[in-house]
Structure 1
């Protein structure tokens, strides 16, 4: 933890009813909100909109360039303001990488209780975001601020991609291998942190994964064998895998014993440190998840655990698996093959 916490100020997490990507509206509730909304005309150059619940919008500029645009923001997941800013910015930029694009610049979204937090604390949040943007090689070119009840920080992130190389979440094909770039458990760690039960080593593991930029994305997009990508965030592994399955019209099978977990995540979940978002996630999509093996309530919590700045989930043909894993390794990731796409009704099965 850095030394940016101002004495006598309230803990950042105490000012928020939820934290990180666990703040997201539950997928079932979101579907209900959007259901029946009048669809606007879609211009032919809008290559990706809201239809497949993808990570970002993509608009073609010409035959070789398309703009990737996304936004992400949330309440504090940690108490250190600098760390909060780094995590939030890293998470927002991830959606650009998940489309196979390279980030161009960002705009800051800032809502702060200015009568509760000092300008030093708010400045440290912005400084943390700037550190993540510098690591991505992009400037924060502007933004917008409001006085809000809860602290909120995030980015609008824009990137550039060749339309022929853009990777959405809907291109998986039967026979594809599923590869996950980061371990699960961030939501569980954040629940333990909020209750004072996460030790320094656990906090370090949480920071390491949540501030690691998903830089393999653009290089993965250059591989012909990569058919789909997304990043695993607030809806958990199950929720984002389901979005991929529905978009592709096939079934995804996940080998649960192969899914990587943050060290200590299972033990913390067993002690009851799970987020409310995990339960809301399960209630939203349980009907589309089949278990071909016994799953404990702890397994279920991990499967639905909301990830903040989670890893890339990649669908690639079997012949390209080694190349995908090699690119992840070149960027310092220990990615793992966790399952496959198969013919069948769109859904998820855990084997």
Structure 2
């Protein structure tokens, strides 16, 4: 729920091996996103290194009474996911030449999209529990949220939005190593329904780059929140509910 104020570039890029035009475009893209986020870019730091790495160190503010955490989910909340999953799968498919160009472009467009609008909508409707969905996947970040909130998440795998071409790549066997590591990490805390589609299981474990937000919305506000989110995030979907955690076993149930 924070507001970005300023940012610094953090760049690791080789003096040779990669044209400097690539670095210029990386910095241009970062600067454009800072403008979109409303932050002032104040320079940065560079290191000669390979392979290239780029990020931003961001400073911002948030009202202490309006902080959105991953520890405030309540039984009865509706689970809303703002972005489709599958960036990890499509990136892997691109590396081996199996991803269709239009599908990979859809992944790029998703990764370029900021979560700024989602943060503003959560603040407007008083959402106080959410998590990003990034490297630890939907299951990994969802598991952390469930444990911190002492609740159980009930997820419908058929409702999880996925980027175009992802299911076909999973069916082909294009599954990134990170998905297997994430699955191993969450195994003790997730109960998978018998006969669950293996591809959907791996999709839920796929590591995301610039993924969306998994938010816990009050039931009476969920429809309006969904409507507002869909104006910016076309794949936004309700994927489940929050229930009371009545036993000591798995804190996520996925059917």
- Unaligned runs of at least 5 residues, structure 1: 1-99
Counterpart for residue 67 of structure 2:
166
Q: 1:160 to 1:327 in 2, by over 3 A?
A: farther
Greater RCO, CA 8 A, separation 6+: 2
Q: Once the 2 structures are TM-superposed, how far is the Cα of residue 260 of structure 1 from its aligned partner? A: 0.8
Question: Does the CA contact (< 8 Å) of 2:66 and 2:128 recur in 1?
Answer: no
Q: Cα RMSD over matched residues?
A: 1.5
Partners of 1:229 and 1:221 in 2: CA distance: 11
Question: Does the CA contact (< 8 Å) of 2:193 and 2:253 recur in 1?
Answer: yes
1:132-211 mapped onto 2 (5 Å cutoff): 132-211=33-112
Partners of 1:267 and 1:243 in 2: CA distance: 29
Which stretch shifts more, 200-209 or 321-330? 321-330
Partner of 2:128, secondary structure, is strand
Determine whether 1:219 maps to 2:121: yes
Question: Does the CA contact (< 8 Å) of 2:12 and 2:53 recur in 1?
Answer: yes
- Please list every run of at least 4 consecutive aligned residues from structure 1 whose deviation after the TM superposition is greater than 6 angstroms: none
Determine whether 1:300 maps to 2:204: no
Determine whether 1:340 maps to 2:226: no
Determine whether 1:105 maps to 2:9: no
Q: Once the 2 structures are TM-superposed, how far is the Cα of residue 332 of structure 1 from its aligned partner? A: 4.5
Partners of 1:206 and 1:254 in 2: CA distance: 23
Once the two structures are superposed, what CA deviation does each residue of 1:92-112 show, in whole Å capped at 9, x if it has no partner?
xxxxxxxx1221121111111
Counterpart for residue 350 of structure 1:
254
1:1-351 mapped onto 2 (5 Å cutoff): 100-214=1-115, 215-224=117-126, 226-344=127-245, 345=248, 347-351=251-255
Which stretch shifts more, 327-336 or 107-116? 327-336
Q: Once the 2 structures are TM-superposed, how far is the Cα of residue 247 of structure 1 from its aligned partner? A: 0.9
- In the superposition, the TM-score normalised over structure 1's length comes to 0.68
- Unaligned runs of at least 5 residues, structure 2: none
Aligned length: 251
Q: Once the 2 structures are TM-superposed, how far is the Cα of residue 266 of structure 1 from its aligned partner? A: 0.6
